[in-house]
Amino acid sequence: MKYLIIGNSAAAAGAVEAIRRNDKRNSITIISDEPHHVYSRPLISYLLAGHTKEDKMYYRDENFYKENNVETVFNKRVTAVDTKKKQVILNNKGQGTRGKGQVIDYDKLLIATGGIPFIPPIKGKDRKNVYTFTKWSDAAEILQVSKNVKKAVVIGAGMIGLKAIEGLTAIGIDVTVVELAPEVLSRALDRDASRIVQRKMEEAGVEVITNNEVVEITGKGNVANGVVLRDKKKIKCDLVIVAIGVIPNTVFIKNSGIKINRGVVVDERMETSVKGVYAAGDVAEALNMLTNEKMPIPIWPLAYRQGGIAGDNMSGGSFVYKGGFPMNSIEFPGVPTISIGIIDPRGEGYESIVKNDAANGNYKRIIIKNERLVGAILVGADVDRAGILTGLIKEQTPVTAFKDKLLDRNFGFVSMPKDLRKERLGRAI
């Protein structure tokens, strides 16, 4: 029996740990097109900012592969999967799909290849000093050129765009961000919450341009020296970061017979349409338990969890994925911001309760459907107990009895009915 994992990040780590709980003996191989020991992707903005150091980038300690008896194949890219012969085909990074690749056999395969940044066909996107921001090497390269950079344009004011901005401003680079949507963080927040975050960004010296897009990256020689916006406005800069979003990284399995929709479609055991082949993490399209649809939800905790479920089932276990939902935490200086679940309710039956104290930078909103909490946005001072709301969403606890207290500053277990409180606090979890 041979376990093969393509990818070396959150989902892969979850899978290795789960496999080794069930099976200490059979071989596990991890393939990655990056050179690094398993590291934390979300830390690249901290690395850029100088808020963490290289030796703290790692998600597991240096003995991780050895202790778990994992063989690693780094700096190699999988270019195809042959599900009939149960083989994956590798090429050296940068070699494209031509040439005779190395072949590795498997009995159980996990696809944990995450997401790749989406880059729209902007004129000039291939110039030098144009980067995406999802990998350690992105942060490292940006750091390297940063000495000669005074001004950067970030395309996209989503989660990753904001992280890039945080890193850039921390090392003294001026930033203008250009966002197509009318608001920053438009996928994680509603308009009122976005406005608070935008104001804080502006107070921190970031120029925010919304309702607009970059149509061209201009250059001197081949090096980016500015951008042109849809409305013809020109902005000079020495660096461009494209942070529009990530899409599931599925190109290499296009012709493998594995069913792909937006991501790799998986069942509740994380198995794909091909038996013995599993997928987990940003690449997978698994259940959103709040909307009851399958969709990629690209966040770290779900990647780790899905990896664990996949690994368990690959090695004879029977863990079932109950579904997840989007959530994220981001703090632009002074505004901790947490977004959980459904934040843009469309359709019937949703009730929304809001506490807007925009003047002081505080905002809270909860969204309820069928007596259950399905979403929450928290900006500012009261994020501390956000997790209780996450728990209520996950457990689908009826909240009608205490819904008017959910937005109180002091909301807690004492706000809940006695039975519920005692049940939660009185037993081992």
Ligand X SMILES: Cc1cc2nc3c(=O)[nH]c(=O)nc-3n(C[C@H](O)[C@H](O)[C@H](O)COP(=O)(O)OP(=O)(O)OC[C@H]3O[C@@H](n4cnc5c(N)ncnc54)[C@H](O)[C@@H]3O)c2cc1C
Minimum CB separation of residue 28 from other proteins in Å reads 20
Only one of the segments 9-17, 206-214, 346-354, 411-419 lies at the binding site for ligand X (rule: CB under 6 A); that segment is 9-17
Minimum CB separation of residue 52 from other proteins in Å reads 6
Spatial separation of the C-alpha atoms in residues 252 and 270, rounded to whole Å: 19
- β-pair partners for 309: none
What string of DSSP letters covers 55-71?
A: GG-BSS-TTHHHHTTEE
DSSP 8-state class, residue 261? S
Minimum CB separation of residue 214 from other proteins in Å reads 26
The single residue listed with the structure tokens 């149960």 is: 86
Q: Are 285 and 261 in contact (CB under 8 A)?
A: yes
Q: Are 381 and 334 in contact (CB under 8 A)?
A: no
What string of DSSP letters covers 232-256?
A: S-EEE-SEEEE-S-EEE--GGGTTS
Query: Which positions from 290 to 319 touch ligand X by CB under 6 A, shown as an x/- string?
Result: --------xxxx-x----------------
Residue nearer to other proteins on the CB measure, 212 or 328: 328
Minimum CB separation of residue 28 from ligand X in Å reads 15
Only one of the segments 28-36, 175-183, 334-342, 356-364 lies at the binding site for ligand X (rule: CB under 6 A); that segment is 28-36
99, 221, 349, 426: which one contacts other proteins (CB under 8 A)? 426
> Which residues ranging from 116 to 175 are in contact with other proteins (CB under 8 A)?
166, 170
Specify the pairing of strand 115-117 against strand 130-132: unpaired
Specify the pairing of strand 327-332 against strand 335-341: antiparallel
Spatial separation of the C-alpha atoms in residues 304 and 112, rounded to whole Å: 10
How far CA 129 is from CA of 34, 218, 238, 323, 381, in Å, comes to 21, 11, 7, 40, 38
Contacts of 334 (CB under 8 A, 6+ apart): 200, 361
What string of DSSP letters covers 70-88?
A: EEEE-SEEEEEEETTTTEE
Minimum CB separation of residue 291 from ligand X in Å reads 19
18, 112, 196, 279: which one contacts ligand X (CB under 6 A)? 112
Minimum CB separation of residue 167 from ligand X in Å reads 8
213 makes contact with ligand X (CB under 6 A): no
Residue nearer to ligand X on the CB measure, 243 or 367: 243
Query: Which positions from 137 to 166 touch ligand X by CB under 6 A, shown as an x/- string?
Result: -----------------------x--x---
Query: Which positions from 243 to 282 touch ligand X by CB under 6 A, shown as an x/- string?
Result: ------x--x----------------------------xx
How far CA 135 is from CA of 40, 139, 141, in Å, comes to 9, 7, 10
* Binding partner at 166 among ligand X, other proteins, none, C-beta below 5 to 8 Å by kind: other proteins
Residue nearer to other proteins on the CB measure, 59 or 252: 59
Minimum CB separation of residue 335 from ligand X in Å reads 15
5, 89, 115, 266: which one contacts ligand X (CB under 6 A)? 115
Spatial separation of the C-alpha atoms in residues 97 and 390, rounded to whole Å: 44
> Which residues ranging from 71 to 110 are in contact with ligand X (CB under 6 A)?
77-78
Residue nearer to other proteins on the CB measure, 46 or 252: 46
* Binding partner at 287 among ligand X, other proteins, none, C-beta below 5 to 8 Å by kind: none
318 makes contact with other proteins (CB under 8 A): no
Minimum CB separation of residue 99 from ligand X in Å reads 15
Q: Are 95 and 89 in contact (CB under 8 A)?
A: no
- Helix 300-314 to helix 10-22 angle (10° resolution) is 30
Minimum CB separation of residue 221 from ligand X in Å reads 29
DSSP 8-state class, residue 383? G
- Tokens representing 178 are 């250009």
* Binding partner at 60 among other proteins, ligand X, none, C-beta below 5 to 8 Å by kind: other proteins
Going 312 to 327 to 348 to 285, the CA torsion angle's sign is negative
> Which residues ranging from 402 to 421 are in contact with ligand X (CB under 6 A)?
none
Residues that bind other proteins (CB under 8 A): 10, 40-43, 46, 49-53, 56, 59-60, 166, 170, 300-301, 304-305, 327-329, 331, 333-334, 336, 338, 340, 383-388, 390-392, 394-395, 410, 412-415, 421-422, 424-429
